[in-house]
């Protein structure tokens, strides 16, 4: 069994590459341009412009009032690289990512398999797994803050624990991770479910005829066919997890958590900009963080391209 997703969809790709493509592209630009214009305008206004503005501010000593700003060169960057708090908070974001990404990938796959194969009440399972994702982060965080309450919360009550989930530094980040898993697994679950439904039945039928058991079918058909979607889930989760902010902040009542254990880099940038009013310095931290995130995204694209080239 050597068929993979690439070879199954190859004919469709070959057709688009035909001679008519150039003409179509030209027409597409004329008409499509109008369609994408509103998006591009908003994108430029709310993403590109703030990014450029932030990059500029990172070379200044700007404060929140915007007055008395002067150019300070690389001072903010020099300070940031020597700032132990920046490294600590970056570490917290990375630690959170390291915990969340593998768990969410495995969990999403498992739930998708369950929802895909279950016959009765399929819609209910799908709804249950996906519904939390529709909640605003503040609702999810408040809900879990309540569940984790050491005295009256359900978690300790049900499991007979006395764990100070939100007030001890050894558990606080774990609590944020658990809340995040419950709240966001629905998205990856949906991606997996769609991918599972896209695997042609005839592959399984052929395998069955060849005498492959359920385990073999999983290892030799399902997992290879899901390889691309797994790559996507992992990459999206890394990018999302590095930016963790709202659920941690709400669960910790707008503090950096017990002994500063849940202060993430985004929260630190926010504090520097909006509590300490050091907009220039906060911009420098944000730009450093942006470079890290962009590197992850670029690395992922590069890896994917190499793999596609390998397949060809």
Q: Residue numbers of the site for other proteins (CB under 8 A)?
A: 30, 34, 37-38, 61, 63-68, 149-152, 162-164, 166-169, 253-256, 258-260, 271, 274-280
CB-wise, 30 or 213, nearer to other proteins? 30
Give dist(CA 68, CA 76) in Å, integer: 16
**Token pair belonging to 61:** 């000593």
SS3 60: strand
CB-wise, 220 or 271, nearer to other proteins? 271
114 strand-pairing partners = none
Q: Residue 291 Cβ, how far from other proteins at the closest point, in Å?
A: 24
Give dist(CA 83, CA 262) in Å, integer: 17
b or e along 192-210 (b: 16 or more beta carbons within 10 Å of the residue's beta carbon)? bbebbeebeeebeeebeee
278 phi, psi to nearest 5 deg = -95, 80
Q: Residue 122 Cβ, how far from other proteins at the closest point, in Å?
A: 39
Q: Report the phi/psi class of residue 69: left, alpha or beta, with left for phi > 0 and alpha for psi in -120 to 50.
A: beta
CB-wise, 123 or 254, nearer to other proteins? 254
Q: Residue 290 Cβ, how far from other proteins at the closest point, in Å?
A: 21
CB-wise, 65 or 197, nearer to other proteins? 65
Give dist(CA 4, CA 197) in Å, integer: 15
**Token pair belonging to 9:** 């969809």
> Residue 267's closest CA among 145, 179, 184, 173?
173
Q: Residue 84 Cβ, how far from other proteins at the closest point, in Å?
A: 11
Q: Residue 276 Cβ, how far from other proteins at the closest point, in Å?
A: 5
CB-wise, 186 or 256, nearer to other proteins? 256
Q: Residue 273 Cβ, how far from other proteins at the closest point, in Å?
A: 8
CB-wise, 22 or 65, nearer to other proteins? 65
Count of H-run helices and E-run strands, the chain: 16, 0
């Amino acid at each position: 069994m050597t068929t993979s997703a690439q070879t199954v969809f190859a004919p469709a790709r070959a057709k688009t590459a035909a001679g008519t493509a150039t003409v179509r592209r030209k027409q597409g630009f004329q008409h499509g341009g109008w369609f994408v214009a509103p998006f591009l305008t908003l994108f430029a206004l709310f993403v590109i412009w703030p990014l450029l503005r932030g990059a500029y501010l990172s070379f200044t000593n700007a404060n929140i009032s915007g007055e008395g700003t002067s150019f300070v060169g690389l001072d903010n960057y020099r300070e940031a690289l020597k700032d132990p708090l920046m490294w600590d908070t970056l570490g917290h974001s990375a630690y959170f990512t390291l915990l969340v990404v593998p768990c969410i990938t495995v969990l999403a796959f498992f739930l998708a398999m369950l929802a895909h194969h279950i016959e009765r009440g399929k819609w209910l399972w799908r709804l249950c797994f996906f519904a939390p994702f529709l909640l605003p982060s503040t609702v999810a965080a408040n809900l879990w803050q309540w569940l984790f309450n050491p005295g009256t919360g359900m978690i300790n009550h049900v499991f007979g624990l006395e764990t100070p989930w939100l007030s001890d530094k050894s558990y606080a980040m774990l609590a944020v991770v658990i809340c995040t898993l419950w709240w966001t697994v629905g998205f990856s679950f949906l991606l997996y479910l769609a991918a599972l439904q896209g695997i042609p039945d005839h592959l399984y039928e052929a395998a069955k005829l060849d005498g492959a058991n359920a385990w073999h079918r999983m290892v030799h058909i399902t997992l290879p066919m899901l390889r691309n979607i797994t790559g996507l889930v992992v990459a999206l989760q890394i990018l999302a997890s590095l930016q963790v902010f709202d659920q941690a902040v709400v669960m910790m009542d707008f503090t950096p958590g017990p002994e500063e254990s849940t202060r993430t880099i985004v929260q630190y940038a926010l504090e520097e900009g909006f509590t300490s009013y050091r907009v220039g310095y906060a911009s420098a931290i944000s730009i450093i963080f942006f470079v890290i995130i962009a590197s992850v995204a670029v690395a992922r694209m590069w890896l994917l391209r190499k793999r596609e080239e390998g397949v060809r």
